[in-house]
Amino acid sequence: GQTLGILGGGQLGRMFCHAAQSMGYKVVVFEPHMASPAGSVAEYEVVASYDDEEGLTKLLDYTNAVTTEFENVPATSLKYLSMQARVSPSAAAVAVVQDRIAEKAFIASQGIDVAPYAEIRTLADLEQVPTTLFPGILKAARLGYDGKGQARVKTLDEAVEAFKSFGEVPCVLEAMLPLKKEISVVMARGFSGDVVTFPVGVNTHINGILSSSVVGIESISSIIEQKAKDAAIKIASGLNYFGVMCVEFFILEDDSVVANEIAPRPHNSGHYTMNACLTSQFEQQVRVLAGMPLGATDLLAPTIMLNILGDSWFIDSQEAKEPDWDKVLALPGVHLHLYGKAEARKGRKMGHVNIVNKDPQQVLHYARQVSEILHLNAHV
């Protein structure tokens, strides 16, 4: 059969591989490190850095259809690949999304609200920001994730200190908003412009890292849900985006909907789809890349996704010790997904569980038990 290519060898790439393989495709993973979660399950692997032309050429020996699980692939590399292969998403779309300055300006240009912010390229820029941006969050424009490359700052002095500690790289300074809820819209857009959105989940973060997504239980008003979906679709079509994409939104105390950021790939908050929807976000990514029709996104039952960090390996010892999965899997409707990472580290995403049940109260009940067994402290 055909071979599909993916840039990035992390857990998202691994779950893409599984979805592609179950549909009869082979996968080639392009990733700078050996023995990555995705590389170790793919049929083929190219180990090279993302800007290595020789490596990219080697990738093209295997495939003429390439997607990405990692938004920081240089746009120039995507452009290079696109001369010989179908690349989804495109270099142009990824270039916007991988730079918070371009990303925020783009979202605002589509008439969608973003947090009040200022572009910070120099100390002088910072000294001119309005005081209304404090307390705020200074975010490096590039390469941040899981709250890394961010500093919460109460005053201009703290912002200056943080900016210096980042090495004075380009940043945005955002006003800290009073969040009522965080939601995300995961969607897929095919090459013919057809669009599907997945059911909207409510996300909770601990220390800047996604902890849980709750779907079909907490009610979000249909007006808010539709507003977020419309905004996500507008962003995708405005970017000429083909593939799976996620837009994170804040819901404020007054129910206004503010776009936070775009992920040009399947997203952690869409992992619930693997057991809860007619089509998973990874199958959708395969379908787009292979030029097939998109799948239905119906929710089969209320679901909670809980992330498992490496912390669960260090509950009662300094040495990593695998958690007791038996206890978790003995609960009804619990599905375990582990990423095959070589080493558990605190704060590192090691896997997730999806808890699915027709009865919303049962989902909550079992999610709380899973959280207790694995010491996740999830706010569910």
Residue list for the binding site for ATP:
100, 139, 144-150, 174-177, 182, 205, 260-261
Segments of 79-170 assigned E as strands: 86-88, 117-120, 136-140, 150-153
Q: Do 163 and 123 touch, CB atoms closer than 8 A? A: yes
In the 8-state DSSP scheme, what is residue 312?
A: G
Regarding 144 and contact with ligand ATP (CB under 6 A), the answer is yes
Regarding 137 and contact with ligand ATP (CB under 6 A), the answer is yes
**Residue of 44, 145, 314, 325 interacting with ligand ATP (CB under 6 A):** 145
CB 325, min distance to ligand ATP, A = 25
Instruction: For residue 69, give Cα distances in angstroms to 38, 172, 254, 275, 282.
Output: 10, 24, 35, 20, 10
Say if strands 171-175 and 117-120 run parallel, antiparallel, or are unpaired. Answer: antiparallel
Q: Which residues are annotated as a binding site?
A: 100, 139, 144-150, 174-177, 182, 205, 260-261
Q: What is the pattern of x (binds ligand ATP, CB under 6 A) and - over residues 250-289? A: ----------xx----------------------------
Using the minimum distance from each CB to ligand ATP, give the nearer residue, 32 or 144. 144
Stretch that binds Mg ion, among 102-110, 233-241, 253-261, 356-364 (CB under 5 A): 253-261
Q: Do 354 and 301 touch, CB atoms closer than 8 A? A: no
Regarding 179 and contact with ligand ATP (CB under 6 A), the answer is yes
A 10 A CB-CB count for 118 gives: 17
Stretch that binds ligand ATP, among 37-45, 176-184, 185-193, 294-302 (CB under 6 A): 176-184
HEC assignment per residue over 205-230: EECCEEEEEEECCCCCCHHHHHHHHH
Segments of 178-333 assigned E as strands: 179-189, 195-197, 201-206, 209-215, 243-252, 257-263, 303-309
Q: What is the pattern of x (binds ligand ATP, CB under 6 A) and - over residues 46-65? A: --------------------
- Segment 97 to 136, residues that bind ligand ATP, using CB under 6 A: 115
Using the minimum distance from each CB to Mg ion, give the nearer residue, 87 or 259. 259
Q: Which one of ligand ATP, Mg ion, none is in contact with 176 (Cβ closer than 5 to 8 A by kind)? A: ligand ATP
Q: Which helix (H) or strand (E) holds 100?
A: helix 100-109
Residues in the site for ligand ATP, rule: CB under 6 A? 115, 137, 139, 144-148, 150, 174, 176-177, 179, 182, 205, 208, 248, 260-261
